[in-house]
Amino acid sequence: MNEIISLSVHELIEKLRAREVSSEEATRAYLGRIEETEERVHAYLSVLEEEALAAAQEADKRLAGGDNDASPLLGVPVAVKDLLCMKGTPTTCASKFLENFISPYDATAVRLLKEAGAVILGKANMDEFAMGSSTEHSAYGPSRNPWNLETIPGGSSGGSAATVAARSCAASLGSDTGGSIRQPAACCGVVGMKPTYGRVSRYGLIAFASSLDQIGPFARNVRDCAIMLNAVSGHDPLDSTSTDESVPDFTGDLGAGAKGLRIGIPKEYFIDGMDPDVESAVQNAIKTMEENGAEIHEISLPHSQYALPVYYIIASAEASSNLARYDGVRYGLRANGNSEEYGPLYGMYAASREEGFGEEVKRRIMLGTYALSSGYYDAYYTKAQRVRTLICREFEDVFQNVDVIMSATAPTPAFRFGERMDDPISMYLSDILTIPCNLAGLPGISQPCGVTSLDLPIGLQIIGKPFGETTVLRAAAAFEKATDHHLALSPL
């Protein structure tokens, strides 16, 4: 493997600053790696070679000029999930509906990466409109897991996770609505973090469920993850849900260790049907943290058992509302309708949506529309919101006595393609351990904690208090320091 692409973000930063490597060299190395791996992995929907090389050359000029105020990401090649708008480039959301859509502006997270001097290599594959747990719902074909090309990379940010695992970028951005950063991070053996809701601006993120969506980083280790989070966090007046909470340096407490940390272990998160290798790896991780000075407390989160149905009512309802804008009129695909059956206008609406949306997106739109319909709104949507409040309060109570919560990220490792496509409930269960964190708007991270007997990665999830990212990252860094799971490379 090329020496440059074997470097982590913080190692590459050191070499860029020391002028031992140029950004253009690093960018060309990653573009070469993309060419080498993409036919097998299909992690990217578009590769922006010309734009990336221009950004790398600009970064080298700044580095050569001794830019003392330069961001740590100056010259670092990264990827972004293809639901983040980037001016002048395709933003498809992995949907036929947006196949020819060229974004006229940058998402705030993309703008911040550009201002930091990061080199954006391309847009990563995903489940269509972020609805899925396997990337099999991409209209342009699935991404594959670099650990085993016959297995899924997770979803919906499967492409973003696969780019990092395949070493076809140094780090990437994804989005997490119900586990869509943490679950693919677990599947692909990388680190992925969902920040607190409101920590990172959602402006320019093509919405799935607006009260749940949050942008976050994928990286090879915890420090790289913290560096990426530093770059994209902060208040944004363009996003009404963006918080004005002060942004600390997320790398600041990484060396503080596990001593004195109070870690809660929710008994409800060791569910029936959990893979034995996953349960064993997580129990070993708990033991490792205890041996390194953490206090382990058994806790109870009984309302978590309702999180899955609550999530699929709320998320689907918000999806129904958000996707109503895709009507074939203002932008995106426009089909010729059957005017005899529907009339010219409604025929065009129906035909555009039939041709533009995939089956999973249609399923969730119908579920959400039903939940919001007259006569059912209170029975489903209102009740789901009430239970969501109970889940939030339960976390608040637990965090009076513990600093972080630890569990498996997903109950099973990556599964084979096609294994759950005909069973939506089985697919939805992939996110059963990550969804409560989204409903409560909490920060959560997944990091490698071992492999199964079939050499598939296992993810350890750490959840923190609202805006407690530094503590989450501290705990994750302490576990990483005590183990070497993050150093394992995919066979690719």
Which residues, in sequence order, are bridge partners of residue 297? 264
For β-strands 404-408 and 77-81, DSSP reports them as: unpaired
| Catalytic annotation, pick one of 22, 23, 71, 81 | 81
pLDDT digits (tens, 9 = 90+) for 178-222: 999 999 999 999 999 999 999 999 999 999 999 999 999 999 999
Alpha-carbon gap, residue 77 to 439, rounded angstroms: 32
From residue 432, alpha-carbon distances to 100, 184, 380 in Å are: 35, 14, 19
Q: What is the pLDDT of residue 271?
A: 85
With 60 as the cut, is the pLDDT of residue 95 above it?
Answer: yes
pLDDT at 233 over 90: yes
Active site residue 180: yes
Clarify whether 81 is annotated catalytic. Answer: yes
* pLDDT at residue 70 greater than cutoff 80: no
3-state secondary structure of 444: strand
Residue 235, pLDDT above cutoff 80? yes
At 132-166, the pLDDT tens digits run 999 999 999 999 999 999 999 999 999 999 999 99
Question: Which domains does the chain possess?
Answer: 1-492 (3.90.1300.10)
Q: What is the pLDDT of residues 452-474, one digit of tens each?
A: 999 999 999 999 999 999 999 99
Distance CA 482, CA 289 (A): 8
pLDDT for residue 68: 61
Catalytic residue among 180, 352, 446, 490: 180
Can you give the pLDDT at residue 1?
Answer: 53
Total-model pTM:
0.96
Query: Among all chains, which residue has been given the structure tokens 């969902």?
Result: 194
pLDDT tens digits, 1-22? 589 999 999 999 999 999 999 9
Structure tokens at 147: 């650990």
Q: pLDDT digit string (tens) for 322-362? A: 999 999 988 899 988 766 677 788 888 888 999 999 999 99
Give 269-311 pLDDT, tens digit per residue: 998 889 999 999 999 999 999 999 999 999 999 999 999 999 9
Tens-place pLDDT, residues 396-436:
999 999 999 999 999 999 999 998 887 777 787 889 999 99
Question: How far from chain centre, in Å, is Cα 197?
Answer: 13
335: closest CA among 358, 320, 356? 356
Q: Which band of pLDDT confidence, cut at 50, 70 and 90, is reported for residue 264?
A: very high
3-state SS class at 485: helix
Q: At how many degrees (to 10) do helices 23-41 and 9-17 cross?
A: 150
Provide the CA 252 distance to its chain's centre, in angstroms. 23
- Candidates 133, 138, 156, 430; catalytic one: 156
